[in-house]
Structure 1
């Protein structure tokens, strides 16, 4: 019996291609995929503001706060970089920060290859200050955790935090105690300012130069601009189905 028939959730699609996203995100274990589908639908129902009528291309104003390295390897998947310290909360509300993170993933999982390979997140805390932390309330942190894999159909291989002081690492551990995402927390690794520690988990071949690698990163703005140039009817229909505003 489907989740919809049970009344647990009401997926916007029930075709094989859509449901495969959830199976692939949970390594083809039906029970785990089912729980993920319910969590994703519930998250959408509880947070419609993250999708509804959001101008997806307008989020290009986030610039290079979010970046990706388009060099997908089976052991790393797609490397997704969040440069938190570049975020100016006085100019960009925290909700747009979350929308940008979500958009990066929603567009990414349209590609079956990424559904299979999954992704690895690198959070760069260089420049992170208390003015940022004041905006990261438990509610927003819980939404971010949901987006990073707890309630989103992407196999998150690991979350690596770098350029983070012990003060902020302590705050992260406080969030860990209050957020019910045990499976995700086991994949979170703190490296301080030690690139060698990061390289033990992520091959430098997959990293940009600033992290000791050789790859070219692509900013969210660059990526969305390229998509806008080449998007088609299928893309527009998918984005509209999610709730995004389309031109």
Structure 2
């Protein structure tokens, strides 16, 4: 429990750890000597091209986009344009959202507060626990977006990135009928196409062939992107999953050793430890802040 409390407090840490410099070099091709030059180049692109109007243009905000695109300003700019366009086209996902209300999703979203370079932050979506009669599918997207917006405030997670695990246990045709093409497109954008996330992989477990077939159908609706190369289906085989995600990072239900943290508990702890800086950042992004 002591480790978990330390991990919760660290969720709001904005400190750039000198020890992460080597990881930033390996994972993000980031070097101290060229970091500021890249940030300035990206900022100049924003002003000169006028293709987007980001909520912020300070160094810390722009750096997360560079880290998500191997420190290449042109690639980071394309990502930033997609990010801004996605926000403009889907204001209902974030504008004036009371972020704490997503605690009612309970265990639909979980995480493991154990981050390491080969996996980053593991976020789990247990779709079968979602009740579409009580919560619209867009709430899932909004909650996932919130998880990522808060997580990406941490320099450590900007560098390490994240891995998604989608658990299809308990999914019925009733669930699938609510997962429309527009919801799928929103999910794809949030998972990396239009978000500054260094996506390490998307792993799908406890899924039938029917779900795999639907995935390939929805794949045609989305723009081509490297994200598709990092989607892996494991059927009902935890051993297959463990070939990609070490058991040290997995919850016990998947043959790992970790305790999972529900979205409800995570939000409760964020609310407990948040500060004025956090409130300012959330307000800048358009979220409601109490």
Give the TM bin, normalised by the shorter chain. Answer: over 0.9
TM-score scaled by structure 2? 0.84
Which consecutive unaligned segments of at least 5 residues does structure 2 have? Answer: 1-43
1:243 matched to which residue of 2? 286
Matched positions, count: 247
Q: Write the deviation string for residues 78-109 of structure 1: whole angstroms up to 9, x where unpaired.
A: 00100011100000111111111111101000
| Distance (Å, rounded) in 2 between the aligned partners of 1:176 and 1:112 | 31
| Distance (Å, rounded) in 2 between the aligned partners of 1:173 and 1:241 | 37
Higher helix share: 2
Q: Check the 8 A contact 2:108/2:130 in 1, yes or no.
A: yes
TM-score scaled by structure 1? 0.98
**Match for residue 15 of structure 1 among 32, 47, 58:** 58
The answer to whether 1:61 aligns with 2:104 is: yes
1:47 matched to which residue of 2? 90
1:140 match: secondary structure: helix
Q: Check the 8 A contact 1:60/1:224 in 2, yes or no.
A: yes
The offset of 1:8, in angstroms, is 0.6
The offset of 1:2, in angstroms, is 2.1
2:178 match: secondary structure: coil
The offset of 1:3, in angstroms, is 2.2
The offset of 1:236, in angstroms, is 0.5
Matches within 5 A, 1:23-38: 23-38=66-81
2:220 match: secondary structure: helix
| Distance (Å, rounded) in 2 between the aligned partners of 1:124 and 1:209 | 14
RMSD: 0.9
Q: Write the deviation string for residues 189-240 of structure 1: whole angstroms up to 9, x where unpaired.
A: 0000011111111111110000000101111100000011111100111111
The structure whose Rg is larger is 2
Q: Check the 8 A contact 1:145/1:181 in 2, yes or no.
A: no
The answer to whether 1:103 aligns with 2:146 is: yes
| Distance (Å, rounded) in 2 between the aligned partners of 1:192 and 1:67 | 20
2:124 match: secondary structure: strand
Matches within 5 A, 1:193-212: 193-212=236-255
The answer to whether 1:232 aligns with 2:280 is: no
2:265 matched to which residue of 1? 222
Which consecutive unaligned segments of at least 5 residues does structure 1 have? Answer: none
Q: Write the deviation string for residues 121-141 of structure 1: whole angstroms up to 9, x where unpaired.
A: 000000111111111111110
Call closer, same or farther: CA 1:191–1:131 in 2, change over 3 Å.
same
The answer to whether 1:139 aligns with 2:139 is: no
1:175 matched to which residue of 2? 218
| Distance (Å, rounded) in 2 between the aligned partners of 1:3 and 1:172 | 35
**Match for residue 232 of structure 2 among 172, 189, 193:** 189
The offset of 1:4, in angstroms, is 3.8
The answer to whether 1:87 aligns with 2:120 is: no
1:71 matched to which residue of 2? 114
